[in-house]
């Protein structure tokens, strides 16, 4: 007679580590950050950081510039990757633009005052 | 409700606002009424208590609240405040229609007044809008009342012949017949229902001490507005930063770090404990950032209480709630990309 309770059996053996396969668990790397920076006078600068890889930031920048009627540039930061810089406060416009294009609103973080 | 709110009156009489205690009704109501769980919830949230009796409306209300909170997570905080007031009023009116209480309409007015005091500007517009929206909601709620009150209606019929028609009261507006609802069972020799007793209890309670009605404003989490002055042309001074940090039970360094990373500037603390921020900022802007700080690092995500402590363990910040005991880790403050502003010649690396 065997007592089933005494068997050494791991019920989750074939399950594996649930968090093993995706390395960025709990990291906030997947957020799109939209920030604002003050320049001299009442001029400001808007930066968009953390755009997912599948989007072409160059084309996006072109679309931004046309849509918001502002100038902008693509900055290559060694740590943060490609960052889109736009002139003026375009934070709300950017976030509505991105959500209209089908990016989840929860992944966009708008910073600043 | 524990939404962060900057009360302008707090600046002058700070002590009075701080001295408000826990909602006494929530504690009182516990032993006397058998098991109104939902009512307790309301009081804990600082909502008005006399909405109690009709459960369906509570459900509606909690749904509203959730939506609002969801909005507040992403949307503007200002917008939230405006929107939040309207559904609350509507619900108050609703409860008045389905279960006639003397207290309900009075409570609604009370709420409005406290609100008007804070925002004098939009008061007229809001009042008009309220009325309109209230009527609309009344029509909508009639349909809901049909299915919800039905059961209690049948109960009443079973227990005794009672002319308590829910539809009639719904048409009659807010609580014009509080007497008939109570006297009906007082005069007849049928058994009273739980609903009636509850209504009676609350109406008596509020009649005896009307101060309980305005507890919701006392429960609010208020912080003195940040006082921002311009120093010179390009710097702003945040004078009462230490005070505000003390009120929030947070280290000034943490708050300052958050402010700087959010606003994308730098600055320093001067000898008098004031924060000197580089760049021109208005009080409203700093207020917005502080609001976001409070949502992220002060209010408990579980119970919405601002009574929390922030501790650091192994380079990770943990926020533990004093009122509900929950503990969670919070995001470290990270400053993002800083664009080159100003002359390049001043920057050594550029």
**Interface pTM, i.e. ipTM:** 0.73
What is B27-49 written as a DSSP string? HHHHHHSS--HHHHHHHHTT--G
Q: What gap in Å lies between CA A95 and CA A34, rounded to an integer?
A: 8
Q: Do B336 and A75 touch (CB under 8 A)?
A: no
SS3 sequence of A66-113: HHHCCCEEEEEECCCEEEEEEECCCHHHHHHHHHHCCCCHHHEEECCC
Helix (H, G, I), strand (E, B) or coil at B338: coil
- Per the structure block, which two tokens stand in for B91? 């619900």
**Measured CA distances, A18 to A23, B164, B212, B329 (Å):** 11, 59, 51, 21
pLDDT of residue B99: 41
pLDDT of residue B131: 55
Whether residue B312 has pLDDT greater than 80? yes
Q: What gap in Å lies between CA A40 and CA A106, rounded to an integer?
A: 32
Using a CB–CB cutoff of 8 Å, tell me whether A107 touches chain B. no
Nearest CA in chain A to B73: A106
Helix (H, G, I), strand (E, B) or coil at B142: helix
Q: State pLDDT tens for residues A61-113.
A: 999 999 999 999 999 888 888 899 999 999 999 999 999 988 888 888 888 87
pLDDT of residue A63: 92
Q: What gap in Å lies between CA A91 and CA A68, rounded to an integer?
A: 11
**Measured CA distances, A40 to A87, A88, B235, B338 (Å):** 12, 12, 11, 15
Q: Do A37 and B262 touch (CB under 8 A)?
A: no
- Per the structure block, which two tokens stand in for B103? 């207290």
Length of chain A: 113
Using a CB–CB cutoff of 8 Å, tell me whether A96 touches chain B. no
User: Which of B234, B288, B342 faces A113 most closely, judged by CB atoms?
Assistant: B288
Residues of B with CB below 8 A from A47's CB? Answer: 336-337, 339
Please compute the mean of the pLDDT values over residues B206-235 and round it to a whole number.
76
Sign (positive or negative) of CA dihedral B15, B17, B20, B22: negative
- Per the structure block, which two tokens stand in for B5? 């709110």
pLDDT of residue A73: 93
Spatial CB neighbours of B315, under 8 Å, sequence gap ≥ 6: B332
Query: What are chain B's domains?
Result: 228-330 (3.30.30.170)
pLDDT of residue B219: 61
Q: Looking at the domain A29-110, which fold is it?
A: Translation Initiation Factor Eif1 (3.30.780)
**Measured CA distances, A39 to A109, B137, B260, B326, B343 (Å):** 21, 48, 15, 42, 11
CA distance B60 to chain A (A): 25
Using a CB–CB cutoff of 8 Å, tell me whether A109 touches chain B. no
Using a CB–CB cutoff of 8 Å, tell me whether A105 touches chain B. yes
Whether residue B291 has pLDDT greater than 70? yes
Q: How big is the A-B interface in CB pairs under 8 Å?
A: 56
Task: Give chain B's mean pLDDT.
Answer: 63
pLDDT of residue B53: 41
Q: What's the predicted TM-score (pTM) here?
A: 0.51
- Sequence spans of domains, chain A: 29-110
Mutate which of A26, A27, A37 to disrupt the B interface (most B C-beta within 10 Å)? Answer: A37
Q: What are phi and psi of A56, to 5 degrees?
A: -85, 110
User: Which of B288, B331, B339 faces A47 most closely, judged by CB atoms?
Assistant: B339
Say if CB B258 and CB B332 are below 8 A apart. no
Using a CB–CB cutoff of 8 Å, tell me whether A82 touches chain B. no
Q: What gap in Å lies between CA A111 and CA A39, rounded to an integer?
A: 16
Residues of B with CB below 8 A from A112's CB? Answer: 262-264, 289
- Per the structure block, which two tokens stand in for B279? 């760049």
User: Which of B74, B280, B336 faces A105 most closely, judged by CB atoms?
Assistant: B74
User: Which of A37, A105, A111 faces B339 most closely, judged by CB atoms?
Assistant: A37
Q: Do B338 and A33 touch (CB under 8 A)?
A: no
Q: What gap in Å lies between CA B269 and CA B72, rounded to an integer?
A: 31
Residues of B with CB below 8 A from A111's CB? Answer: 261-262, 264, 336
pLDDT of residue B196: 85
pLDDT of residue A15: 54
Ranked by mean pLDDT, the top range of B12-21, B68-77, B128-137, B140-149 is B128-137
B265 vs B80, more confident: B265
Least Cα distance to B76 among B295, B262, B248 occurs for B295
Least Cα distance to B260 among B245, B273, B277 occurs for B277
Whether residue B112 has pLDDT greater than 60? no
Q: What gap in Å lies between CA B117 and CA A67, rounded to an integer?
A: 42
Which H or E element spans position B158?
helix B123-159
């Amino acid at each position: 007679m065997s007592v089933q309770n005494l068997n050494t059996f791991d019920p989750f053996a074939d399950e594996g580590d649930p968090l093993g396969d995706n390395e960025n668990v709990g990291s906030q790397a997947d957020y799109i950050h939209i920030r604002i920076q003050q320049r001299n006078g009442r001029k400001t600068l808007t930066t968009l950081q953390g755009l997912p890889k599948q989007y072409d930031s160059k084309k996006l920048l072109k679309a931004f510039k046309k849509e918001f009627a502002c100038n902008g540039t693509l900055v290559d930061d060694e740590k943060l990757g490609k960052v889109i810089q736009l002139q003026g406060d375009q934070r709300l416009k950017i976030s509505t633009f991105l959500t209209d294009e089908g990016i989840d609103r929860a992944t966009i973080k708008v910073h600043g005052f | 409700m524990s939404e962060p709110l900057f009360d302008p009156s707090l600046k002058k009489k700070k002590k009075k606002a701080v001295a408000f205690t826990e909602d006494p009704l929530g504690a009182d109501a516990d032993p006397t009424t058998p098991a109104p769980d939902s009512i307790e919830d309301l009081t804990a949230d600082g909502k008005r208590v006399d909405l109690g009796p009709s459960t369906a409306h509570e459900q509606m209300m909690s749904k509203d609240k959730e939506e609002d909170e969801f909005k507040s997570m992403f949307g503007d905080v200002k917008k939230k405040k405006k929107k939040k007031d309207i559904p609350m009023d509507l619900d108050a009116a609703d409860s008045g229609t389905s279960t006639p209480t003397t207290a309900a309409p009075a409570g609604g007015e009370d709420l409005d007044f406290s609100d008007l005091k804070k925002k004098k500007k939009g008061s007229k517009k809001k009042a008009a809008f309220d009325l309109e929206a209230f009527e609309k909601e009344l029509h909508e709620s009639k349909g809901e009342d049909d299915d919800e009150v039905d059961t209690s209606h049948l109960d009443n019929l079973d227990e005794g012949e009672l002319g308590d028609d829910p539809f009639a009261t719904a048409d009659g507006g807010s609580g014009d017949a509080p007497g008939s609802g109570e006297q009906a069972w007082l005069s007849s020799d049928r058994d009273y229902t739980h609903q009636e007793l509850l209504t009676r209890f609350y109406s008596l309670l509020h009649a005896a001490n009307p101060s309980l009605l305005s507890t919701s404003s006392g429960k609010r989490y208020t912080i003195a507005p940040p006082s921002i002055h311009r120093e010179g042309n390009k710097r702003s001074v945040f004078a009462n930063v230490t005070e505000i940090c003390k009120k929030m039970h947070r280290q000034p360094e943490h708050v300052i770090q958050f402010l700087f990373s959010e606003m994308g500037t730098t600055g320093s603390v001067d000898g008098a404990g004031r924060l000197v921020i580089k760049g021109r900022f208005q009080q409203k802007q700093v207020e917005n950032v502080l609001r976001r700080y409070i949502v992220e690092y002060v209010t408990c995500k579980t119970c919405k209480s601002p009574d929390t402590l922030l501790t650091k363990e192994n380079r990770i910040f943990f926020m533990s709630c004093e009122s509900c005991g929950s503990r969670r880790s919070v995001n470290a403050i990270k400053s993002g990309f800083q664009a080159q502003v100003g002359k390049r010649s001043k920057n050594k690396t550029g």
